[in-house]
Structure 1
Amino acid sequence: MPFIRVTHPAGALTAGQKKELASTLAYEVMAQELDPVTDDSLSMAPVFFQEIDPENYFPGGKPMSENFGKTRWIVEVVVAAAFFNQSRRDALQDTVGKAFVKLFGDDGSEIVRGKLRISPAYLLQLHTVIVEIPEGNWGSGGRTIEIDEIGEILGSYEGQERLQEARENSAKLKAARVS
């Protein structure tokens, strides 16, 4: 039951671009949680666009008016921690970047800083943050729910292997909790 928030300057996306980006992000995030992705699971993966007025947007501490042409994007993906491991986090980062390239195209530009290569260069302005909610902290229907219940809500009965992986991660996370 992930949710995704895309924060950006007001007017940076058209309604059509929002629709395309929302569809891609919802599917790609859910694909890291479940296999296969179903219509039921997609209906539980909302995407919110948070537009920031340029007067309230200060990239690098400078007003947006001094940063014209450098749109910054923050994509926050909030997920149940047990569904993720490092390879799934890496895959999610990759697919978010590809979603933006699909939307805006590849202009052939690149930025190289040390061993880091970013292409197209505008992806340097894309920041994706995966917020993992520990077991015992996710709720729905006015109560705490955990992996098996989340799996039931999402319809994961078709993807038992993925759900078993999440159960194993959940047990490890619970064992590591202080309380």
Structure 2
Amino acid sequence: MTDVLIDMEGGANTRAGRAFAWILFTEIPEGDWWVGGHADNTFVSPPGAFLVNVVVPEGYMNAAHKSDVHAAVTSAITQVMSGSSQAGVAASVLVVIDEVTEGNWGAGGKTISLDSIADSVGLPKSGERFRWVRSYFEAKARQFASAGYPVDVGGLLASAASHRQPPIA
């Protein structure tokens, strides 16, 4: 699963990139997980019920990246649990991607940005993926400006905040 995370995060297979790839498995006691009103496997497909929560910085994944993550995480679980990745086998593997708003992620007691994460894990900011990230945040900055949001509202890459234009009078 770590390799899936490294791949989905842009391939930062560095010491810092691996240190950023956290996985938490929590087994739910029998009778505490209900699907379709039943605590048994009445509505659970092989290899079992899984709820995978993937947490990423906002604006780092477009729709295609998210689809790739859904497929890769589901495939990894089904391969390990059943040795198969046949269609229909993984209907009870749910993958939810949560995006953390820029400025809301912290480590070591400090707020970290997507820019600083890329720097620390060794991802180049000159490639196609980060160009998409910048485009996303530049559009968000323009949207904030046109709606009259305060300049210090947060939620923007510092490098994209410079693309804020004054509100239209």
The 1:30–1:107 alpha-carbon spacing in structure 2 relative to 1, beyond 3 Å, is closer
Which protein has greater RCO, CA pairs closer than 8 Å, 6+ apart? Answer: 1
Three-state SS of the structure 1 residue aligned to 2:36 is helix
The letter for the 2-side match of 1:139 is G
Q: Closer, same or farther in 2 for the Cα pair 1:145/1:66, shift >3 Å?
A: same
Match of 2:100 in 1: 133
Report the structure, 1 or 2, having the larger helix content: 1
Give the whole-Å Cα distance in 2 for the aligned partners of 1:39 and 1:77. 20
Give the gaps of 5 or more residues in structure 2: 154-169
Question: Does the 8 Å contact 1:32/1:83 carry over to 2?
Answer: no
- Which string of whole-angstrom CA distances, capped at 9 and with x for unpartnered residues, describes residues 62-111 of structure 1? 22376688621111100002211011001111111221232122286xxx
Larger CA deviation: 31-40 vs 92-101: 31-40
In the TM superposition, what are the counterparts of 1:1-179 in structure 2 within 5 Å?
25-64=1-40, 71-103=48-80, 104-106=82-84, 119=87, 121-157=88-124, 160-161=126-127, 162-177=129-144, 179=153
Aligned counterparts of 1:94 and 1:65: Cα–Cα separation in 2: 23
Q: Distance in 2 between matches of 1:93 and 1:65?
A: 23
Aligned partner of 1:114 in structure 2 is none
Confirm or deny: 8 A CA contact 2:58 2:102 kept in the other structure: yes
The size of the alignment, in residue pairs, is: 143
Residue 148 of structure 1, CA deviation: 1.1
Taking structure 1 as the reference length, the TM-score comes to 0.67
**53-62 vs 168-177, which deviates more?**
168-177
8 Å CA contact 1:78–1:130 kept in 2: the answer is yes
Report the more deviating stretch, 159-168 or 121-130.
Answer: 159-168
Identity %: 23
Greater strand content:
1
- Structure 1: segments with no counterpart, 5+ residues: 1-24, 109-118
- Asked if the contact 2:105–2:111 (Cα under 8 Å) also holds between the matched residues in 1, the reply is yes
**Structure of higher CA gyration radius:** 2
Contact 2:105 2:113 in 1 (8 A): yes
Structure-2 change in CA distance of 1:130 and 1:68 (3 Å) = closer
RMSD: 2.6
TM-score between both structures, scaled by the size of structure 2: 0.71
Secondary structure of the residue that 1:74 maps to in structure 2? strand
CA contact (8 A) 2:36 2:43 kept: no
